[in-house]
Amino acid sequence: MDGLTATGAERAGIVVGLPERGIEAVTFKNVRIQSKRGMLFRHAEVDARGLEVTASEGAAVTSERGAKLRR
C-alpha cells in the first residue's frame, strides 16, 4: 500500500492470516492513519517502516502471535 492518508476511522486496520497460511509480503509506504483504535497484525509478515498510525485509544500497533513486523 502506498500513499494513503486516512482520518476519523474507528480502527486503523486489521491484517490477519491463518496459522497454517499466514499473509506474506505486505508493505506500507507513505501511509498515515488517524483512528480511534490502532492497527492489528496476526500471522502476517509486514514491512511497516512506512506506516504511521495515531490512535486515540490504546496502542497504535498491536502485534499478536505469528506476526513479523519490520519497523
pLDDT score for 46: 98
Cβ(15)–Cβ(24) below 8 Å: no
Single-letter amino acid code for the residue at 53 = V
pLDDT band at 48 (very low <50, low <70, confident <90, very high): very high
Banded model confidence at residue 25, pLDDT cuts 50, 70, 90: very high
Q: Are 55 and 36 in contact (CB under 8 A)?
A: yes
Question: Taking the domains of the chain in order of start, what are their residue ranges?
Answer: 2-70
Grid cell of 16 as nine digits? 490477519
Residue 43: which pLDDT band, with cuts at 50, 70 and 90?
very high
- The mean pLDDT of 56-64, rounded to a whole number, is 98
pTM for the structure as a whole: 0.94
